[in-house]
A and B are shown apart, each in its own frame.
Chain A
Amino acid sequence: QKEVEQDPGPLSVPEGAIVSLNCTYSNSAFQYFMWYRQYSRKGPELLMYTYSSGNKEDGRFTAQVDKSSKYISLFIRDSQPSDSATYLCAMSGTGGFKTIFGAGTRLFVKA
């Protein structure tokens, strides 16, 4: 079993839809949770960064962490075609550097 599981998709939604992207993990030591967005032939860019459980909102993006269920989510409201990309979840523990990435979910937002 991988430390971080993420459905690779693809996920296709119409413009304006609410998108839900999720990851599950097995290591209870993870404390830092991140979402990266990766456009085709580009490096990943940091989208959201949260510590421990709870919600964090930034514009159209909301990140949720449920440590009791070892489950994290990224919600995108009013999705746009420019949101079409691969979204990778990532997590790491305290006192350590190693960040474990999910395989990424490929999202297509249709105009």
Chain B
Amino acid sequence: RKEVEQDPGPFNVPEGATVAFNCTYSNSASQSFFWYRQDCRKEPKLLMSVYSSGNEDGRFTAQLNRASQYISLLIRDSKLSDSATYLCVVNGRGGSYIPTFGRGTSLIVHP
């Protein structure tokens, strides 16, 4: 099993739709979790951290399920500008908190 796994997609959704991505991780000792957004040929940028209690930022909601070892990202009311690749990041490999990236999930929002 890979350390961090994501469905690469693409997820093709109309504007206004709600879409959800999951990311599974194998190291039960993982301590911190993030979602990054990466636009085509650009650097990744932090979208949001993922807290145990779940957190929300506008149209974006992130959840952590430690028992099943996955994190999720929910995007409501999708905009054209949400089209990007969403990278899941998990820290905690080997106890050194070095980050491991998933390969990303591609989202395409169409009119």
**B and A form one assembly:** no
* Residues of chain A having any CB pair with chain B under 8 Å: none
* Residues of chain B having any CB pair with chain A under 8 Å: none
